[in-house]
Amino acid sequence: MADKPLFPVVDGNYRMDAEPHVGIGIILSEDGMDEVSFRVPAPDYRLRSGDDTAATPLAPGDYVIRRLNSHFIVEAEGPCEPVRVEKAGPVIIKAPERARVARPGDGILVRDIVAGRGFHWAKTIDQTLTGDIEFHIPPDSSHVVMVNRLALEEYLTGVITGEMSGECPIEFMKAQAIAARSWLLGQPRSPHPGQPFHWCNDDCCQRYQGTGGWSERAVQAITECRGQVLITAGKRYCDARYSKSTGGISEDAVLVWNEEIEGLVSRIDAPAGSAAERFFPVTDDNIEEYLTGDWLKACDCFASPAVVPEESITRYLGRVDESGTYFRWSVSRTQDELRKSLVERGGLADLTEVKGLRTGRRGRSGRLYELHVDYVSTDGGEKTATLSPEYNIRAGLSTSFLYSSCIIVRPQHDGAGKLTGVEILGGGWGHGAGLCQIGGLGRALRGQNADEILMAYYTDVTLESIYE
Ligand SMILES: [Zn+2]
């Protein structure tokens, strides 16, 4: 089911007869949940299991669903009408037919959903979900998996308000929606094979947090760009990946994923004639100046604080993001912290002491493709290991996640010459390929429209409407 190509499109035949529906994993096996608490907001929701013909009506109120071996038990909680239903899984809660489009806050409220799995901003939040809800127990899991099945455009409204806030300028929201739609259709197969859903709700796929963060502006943005996607020169849906901040120059896909992706080529994210042009490409020789030089005082890069002021950035970020400075940043790591993260997340299980960090190959945005770690191993010998690509570097240098691998490393030593820690100076947030969310926001604040924003980040693509 989930392992076949998802959209049998491509080679020029990218039109669809109707808007597709998508299944999004909201609670995953790895979240380790055995029960889920939810609120039914209105009459006419119905509960049924896969092969039931008779459905059980659910009155408005609070419920909890628990797993009991291969069955689910659904019970009403609190003052609402008592109900206790036992069903063989999977169990589906069917939403009533709706005569109108979904509104902000519509849908079933589901409590304590994980957002930001594995990242530094991980937390749990309550979410309202329009469409149908399914509960599964996959064969390889003892935990509950919850899937939200809904129309693509409603899903995208939840993506643009999950990835960034519903307060962003409308032209940025349209650009983000078109990128998100293209990305989803451009995936040849599910990132979650064998699961009862194609995409998850988090940064591993696209951040989707239901209808709670929807704004009137987001609904309008989706309406205005309905069905529009980016098509590559090879006549395929563009696999339009995106990240929070390029740091000034975007990255080549091949540097990040070890594969070429049509349309995702390194670009300077600044107006023509910008001082940023002299750093293209960023190299070992110019990166110190790129990250810390005086040119930053008059920096005109679209993702820079001069265009998107840092004090206003929280307004525009997603509701689970932390505010901070992402264009240029620095962090310190002690010897102990480095050892812990390199052992636990960098895969260097035999490391006992870090001797030094040496930077290797970089992409054109300055992001490291390789980081060499010199260390003392458990057998007392000295070794060198290489972390690669950028994702593993970001994981290995932080117990949560380093913002990006566009970094220089300044070592600190004690009197005996032993490494006591490092200062890491960096630029940007995320892999840096494709649309830059903060840069795209900056472009919209400077008056660019969605088309101009997209063409600035994706190369040799056209915008096409694929369904009415
Ligand atoms: Zn995913």
Q: Measured at the alpha carbon of residue 440, what is the angle toward residues 438 and 446, in degrees to the nearest 5?
A: 105
- Considering the domain boundaries, does residue 338 fall inside one? no
| pTM of the predicted protein model | 0.91
What residues make up the domain containing 166?
21-228
Closest by CA to 27, choosing from 90, 97, 106, 121, is 90
The alpha carbon of 326 and the centre of ligand 1 are apart by a number of angstroms equal to 24
H-helix segments, 135-293: 152-163, 170-186, 216-224, 253-257, 287-292
Between the CA of 55 and the centroid of ligand 1 the distance, in Å, is 31
Distance 204 CA to ligand 1 centre (A): 4
pLDDT at position 49: 85
Residue of 418 and 13 predicted with greater confidence: 418
The CB-side HSE value for 375 (13 A sphere, CA atoms) comes to 25
pLDDT in tens, 177-196: 999 999 999 887 888 988 99
End-to-end Cα, the chain, rounded Å: 27
Distance CA 391, CA 369 (A): 9
pLDDT at 338 over 70: yes
| Rounded-to-integer distance, Cα 433 and Cα 338, Å | 27
What spacing in Å lies between the alpha carbon of 249 and ligand 1's midpoint? 26
Q: Is 408 inside any structural domain?
A: no
Coil/strand/helix, residue 354: strand
Output the CA 114–ligand 1 centroid distance in Å: 13
**Tokens 């812990």 belong to residue:** 340
Query: Lowest-pLDDT range, 48-52, 128-132, 239-243, 317-321?
Result: 317-321
Domain contains 279: no
Indicate if the alpha-carbon torsion angle 381, 384, 385, 387 is positive or negative.
Answer: positive
User: In terms of pLDDT, which residue wins out, 138 or 191?
Assistant: 191
In a domain, 224, yes or no: yes
Going from the Cα of 197 to the center of ligand 1, the distance in angstroms, rounded, reads: 10
25 CA from centroid of ligand 1 (Å): 8
Q: Which residues are close to ligand 1, an ion, with C-beta < 5 A? A: 191, 200, 204-205
Rounded to the nearest angstrom, the distance between the alpha carbon of 207 and the centre of ligand 1 is 9
- Look at the chain and report how many structural domains it folds into: 1
Give pLDDT, residue 3. Answer: 44
Amino acid at 201: N
Separation of CA 351 and ligand 1 centre (Å): 31
Taking residues 114-122, report their average pLDDT.
77
Q: Omega into 90 within 30° of 0, i.e. cis?
A: yes
Collapse the DSSP code of 172 into the 3-class scheme (helix H, G, I; strand E, B; otherwise coil) and give the result: helix
Is position 459 within any domain?
A: no
**Residue 225, helix vs strand vs coil:** coil
pLDDT at 99 over 90: no
Residue 15 lies in a domain: no
338, 331 in Cβ contact below 8 A?
A: no
Q: What is the overall mean pLDDT for the chain?
A: 91
Residue 138 has pLDDT above 90, yes or no: no
Position 248 in a domain: no
How many angstroms is it from 328 CA to the middle of ligand 1? Answer: 28
Tens-digit pLDDT profile for residues 247-284? 999 999 999 999 999 999 999 999 999 999 999 999 99
- Assess if residue 440 is contained within a domain: no
Average pLDDT over residues 25-38: 94
pLDDT at 2: 40
User: Is residue 408 within 8 Å of 345, Cβ to Cβ?
Assistant: no
